[in-house]
Amino acid sequence: MNYFQSICPVCETEYAEIDKLCPVCGFGDLGKVFITEQDSAYWVETIVKPYRTHWEEKNLKPVICPGKREYSKNLESRGSFVVGLLTNTNEWEYYYYDYDHSARHYLDLYRKKKDGTEKQLLISKCSFSKLIGNWIFYTVDSSNGLFKMWLDGTGIQQLNDDECWKWSINTIGDWIYYMNRCESSRIYKINIDGAYRQILSNDKCHKLYVVGDWIYYEKKIDKWHNHIGKLYKMRTDGKKRKKLCDDKASIYNVKDDWIYYSNKSDGGESYRIRTDGKERQPFAFTPDYFF
């Protein structure tokens, strides 16, 4: 008998099959299937409970692809997330809100004054948002394209017509990197004023991380394996493309010159490899590597 985890074992939130991380607590070891009940119990003791303790003590959420979401006790419900308190104003909070916990992939983005007044809906069914300077960059469920607007919700501009896969969007300096699902999930970049857009690779990929001058990504193996791929890297200008290993990988994180990933070639065990492709090795999962 297989024992499949259909809800997050840390915070007991239901998650969809497409979720890479729990939408509430950020736990990243979802969708586990165990051959025996003993294996399941061992996983709970060694992985789930340490993560739950870490999350409850810190009282915050880990980094998720759209950006850092900080836990806030004083918002309206469990489904509310602060997108990030702005550093250039002391007046406003910007946060996601989900009334019925059903729209985990598409949440409404609100702002309100810190005294709780002047609540304002900025974006309905927002799938990604990021604060850069005085602009909010975002995508929505209702249409393709990357958009931006002023912090007060005015001055809306559409930067492109691409289907920017929300889990892939990375912002570094004046550039936004993303997978374009209109082009078989190939990697693109666009500058924040929308004046320059460039395809960086013809590789069809599933997940990407941009760190410094490098892009680390999973190149899709075939159309039947949408959530795993071979590990590659390239410069942010699309040059010096290199395969790092032949594992069927699903990346957890890129941190301190290491790539952490689930190795589907070895039953989903946690591995890490240097960003130069050296020192590939099994790795004992700890919650800190999702933060």
Domain boundaries, the chain: 1-59, 62-161, 200-291
Residue count of the chain, please give it. 291
Q: Which of 96, 86, 164, 97 lies closest to 131, judged by CA?
A: 86
Which amino acid is present at 31? G
pLDDT at residue number 79: 40
CATH code for the domain defined by 200-291: 2.40.10
175-180: strand order across its sheet: 170-172, 175-180, 186-191, 197-199
Positions in the chain short of pLDDT 50 = 1-5, 58-88, 99-104, 291
CB 203, CB 192: distance < 8 Å:
no
pLDDT at residue number 287: 52
- Residue 254 tokens read as 């890129």
CB 218, CB 205: distance < 8 Å:
yes
Reported as a single tens digit per residue, the pLDDT across 3-61 is: 334 577 776 666 655 555 666 666 766 666 555 566 667 677 767 777 776 666 544 33
From the number of C-beta atoms within 10 Å of its C-beta (0-12, 13-18, 19+), residue 201 rates as middle
Instruction: Say whether pTM exceeds 0.75.
Output: no
Helix (H) or strand (E) holding 206: strand 205-211
Q: Tell me the C-alpha distance between 136 and 27, whole Å.
A: 26
Per DSSP (E only), the strands in 20-160 are: 33-34, 63-64, 67-68, 81-82, 92-97, 107-113, 120-132, 135-140, 143-150, 157-158
pLDDT at residue number 66: 32
Looking only at the bridges linking them, the beta strands covering 229-235 and 175-180 are: unpaired
pLDDT at residue number 76: 38
Q: Tell me the C-alpha distance between 139 and 130, whole Å.
A: 10
